[in-house]
Amino acid sequence: RFQSSESFNHLIVVVLVTSVLRHTTSKINNQARPGYNMAEITNDCTNNYQESTLTSLLKRSIKAKEHSHSPYSKFRVGAALLTDTGEIIDGCNVENASYGLTICAERTALVKAVSMGFKIFPAIAITTDMEEFIAPCGACRQVIAEFGLDCDVYLVKSDLSFKKLSISELLPMAFTSTDLESASMKK
């Protein structure tokens, strides 16, 4: 009887430890995954901007959609880019009758910002008219990564709910200027 109660206790300990571990890992894995509403986020602005700035950024991405030139796809996209000095530069997708010349909203915002003299971007917000969270295309991920792998990427829906990811998550093993530098060192 002593033996069986000991193995029962052992079983309880194993069950408890496994469930605690499972809970912790699922928390870590899901950290950036679910959509949040503004009310649920406090102190979540990892790149050192205020929650009120984040609200403005999300709203500006939605507003930017209004200028979308998308007569072919009818897929409106808006983006808003936060600069290190707190400015917000927005952009929309600009399509062309020669389809391949289309410029995405994210790249419109980036090219606008860089040509105005900005180079450091703590965050970018991207929105469409879709009911799901839409992530930036591969080309835009690469262009965002050009200006740093720390950029917070907010996927935003019209009700201001959002999903936050980092550019390194969206573009693992990014090809960057560092790769070019290490190539020139070998010459």
Tokens of 163: 């999903």
**Residue 129 or 150 having the CB closest to ligand THU:** 129
122 binds ligand THU (CB under 6 A): no
Residues 34-73 that bind ligand THU (CB under 6 A): 70, 73
Of 89, 140, 155, 156, the residue at the interface with ligand THU (CB under 6 A) is 140
Site string for ligand THU, 147-186 (x = CB under 6 A): ----------------------------------------
Contact status, residue 47 vs residue 123, Cβ threshold 8 Å: yes
Return the residue of 12, 21, 137, 180 that touches ligand THU, per CB under 6 A: 137
Least separation in angstroms between residue 63's CB and ligand THU is 15
C-alpha dihedral (163, 165, 171, 174), degrees to nearest 10 = 160
Phi, psi (deg, nearest 5) at residue 88: -120, 120
